[in-house]
Structure 1
Amino acid sequence: MYLYQAAFTARTLARTLRAALIKTDPAPLNYLDVGARGGLPRRWRLLEQLGKISPIFVEADPDEADKLRKRGRTLCAALGSEHGLLADLRITRAAHLSSVLEPDYDGWPHELLPDVEVVEKVPVTLSRLDHVWPDEYGDPHFVKIDTQGYDLEVLKGFGELLKRVCCAEVEVCMANQYVGQPSPTDVYDYMRASGFDMVGFKANSLQAGRQTVVFNAFFVRAEIRDVPAVRMWKIVNDIGSAQRITAIGI
């Protein structure tokens, strides 16, 4: 395991350094992380230190948002598609599985059921991103959304801001782990209709032994698929040279 982790770290570092050599605008590109518990993904941290990106965190959990403010610009908000809608943020025993949606316990492996036990409900008022995004932040160039089944509603709340996004990484799930969560095809269809091509689809986690049910779908705005910023984003995410992946039956 140690050797595997060391090799993984070395590969990640090599990709990050290769990405850093791509000439982009002198100003850092905004990296919007929605559902940002824990901060930037490790593969992006060096690029932040090198001034290639500037993180913007959105986190619904007030305690976690306070921690993130020490790392970068942070909005404490629960995002959705309907501004002002009252909801409960369901804090689970494993905090990274918390969601606005109720866990669908039938969709979880038995050994993970304790992790998704709801231990607290925090009342929240949902916000559309286009209602709370400060003008001074500029464009959300790169976006990562990980909101445990609520990702499509978050995307719908971008409104016109979605036209200013270059690349997006969106979590999707094959199993019904939260009540009312969208299917991967729902997310794909929405992004295609919004002018994005899917260029990658990668496993995110393993559950129940070898059963892979959670994935990250990677999207690029179709008309800018080969600009330097997109090439950098692809390298960091280890996507390769794919121009478009057609989703059939997912």
Structure 2
Amino acid sequence: MTARRWLTHAVAARLGRRGFEIRRHSSTRRQSMLMRHGVDLVLDVGAADGGYGTSLRAFGYAGPIVSFEPQAAAFARLGETISGDPTWTARHLALGSDPGEVTMNIASNSTSSSILPMLATHIDAAPSVTYIGTETVTVSTLDDETRELLPKYHRPFLKIDTQGFEREVLAGGSETVAACVGLQLELSLVPLYGGGMLIDEAIGWAYAHGFQMVGVEQGYAAPSGEILQIDGVFMRVPAGQRAVG
């Protein structure tokens, strides 16, 4: 065993005894897939303050990003994040099945804010996170927002992180989904928001629309250790290779 391998093994063993492990970062795997599939546009729905796009940039994606964020305070922080990046733009919007206006519940940690009501399972898992107010937000549809954009690109990738509202986003984006080579969806293992899409429905929807899961990224975990949400990365399967049944 080389000195480098011995040191790596020793560090991993020591971290393991303390409940940690060393593994390849999930963003590295995602970036490899984006490159392999020639992704030339990322649609970032539910961008918050831009953490997802920042991760894309950190791991090598240099193409255009269009982010959507309805919450005013988060959108202001998103504007600061993308400042100076000419290929990353942001739109102050929620996306849903129909255009209009809707009341959004604002959470104490911002990232748990949702158009849907927060359930007891969420509150029990994170008692410090509660709704502290509401905000009226503008809603558009994904197809309306991308209709003039998509003809400029060949292989878009769609990421949706909308705290249970994914079903409505997808319902307003059938044309966009048809053009995408891949997508990333937040997958809830337990109900956290009233009426929110759960993992079985989300995965079934993805496979029914020609995608297969190629990656899993850990999302929200309760302090007790239970994983409540994960992120699934899906890539499009050529029609001739899709399972029949």
- Report if TM-score (shorter chain) is over 0.5: yes
Shift of residue 203, structure 1, vs aligned partner: 2.8
- Structure 1 segments of 4+ aligned residues over 4 angstroms from their partners: 22-25
Matches within 5 A, 1:11-22: 11-12=24-25, 15=28, 19=32
The corresponding residue for 1:31 is: 42
Matched, 1:124 2:137: yes
Measure, in 1, the Cα distance between the counterparts of 2:160 and 2:27: 25
The corresponding residue for 2:181 is: 166
Q: 1:74 to 1:221 in 2, by over 3 A?
A: same
Shift of residue 134, structure 1, vs aligned partner: 5.7
Deviations 1:201-243 (A, max 9, x none): 44323213211111112211111899xxxxxxxxxxxxxxxx9
Stretches of structure 2 lacking an aligned partner (at least 5 in a row): 1-10, 83-87
The corresponding residue for 2:85 is: none
**Structure 2 counterpart of 1:54, from 55, 61, 64:** 64
Measure, in 1, the Cα distance between the counterparts of 2:157 and 2:32: 14
Structure 1 length-normalised TM: 0.73
Deviations 1:48-101 (A, max 9, x none): 5x63x22211111123223323412111111111222x3211110011100010
Shift of residue 24, structure 1, vs aligned partner: 7.4
Matched, 1:74 2:74: no
CA contact (8 A) 2:27 2:56 kept: no
Q: 1:189 to 1:110 in 2, by over 3 A?
A: closer
Tell which structure's C-alpha radius of gyration is larger.
Answer: 2
1:33 maps to a residue whose letter is D
Identical-residue share of aligned pairs (%): 22
Structure 2 length-normalised TM: 0.75
The corresponding residue for 1:63 is: 73
Shift of residue 175, structure 1, vs aligned partner: 1.4
Measure, in 2, the Cα distance between the counterparts of 1:146 and 1:122: 19
Measure, in 1, the Cα distance between the counterparts of 2:187 and 2:201: 10
The corresponding residue for 1:187 is: 202
Matches within 5 A, 1:132-147: 132-133=145-146, 135-136=148-149, 138-139=152-153, 141-147=156-162
The corresponding residue for 1:210 is: 225
Stretches of structure 1 lacking an aligned partner (at least 5 in a row): 227-242
SS at match of 1:123: strand
Matches within 5 A, 1:86-97: 86-97=101-112
SS at match of 1:90: strand
1:124 maps to a residue whose letter is V
2:128 maps to a residue whose letter is P
Cα RMSD after superposing both structures:
3.6
User: Matched residue pairs, number?
Assistant: 221
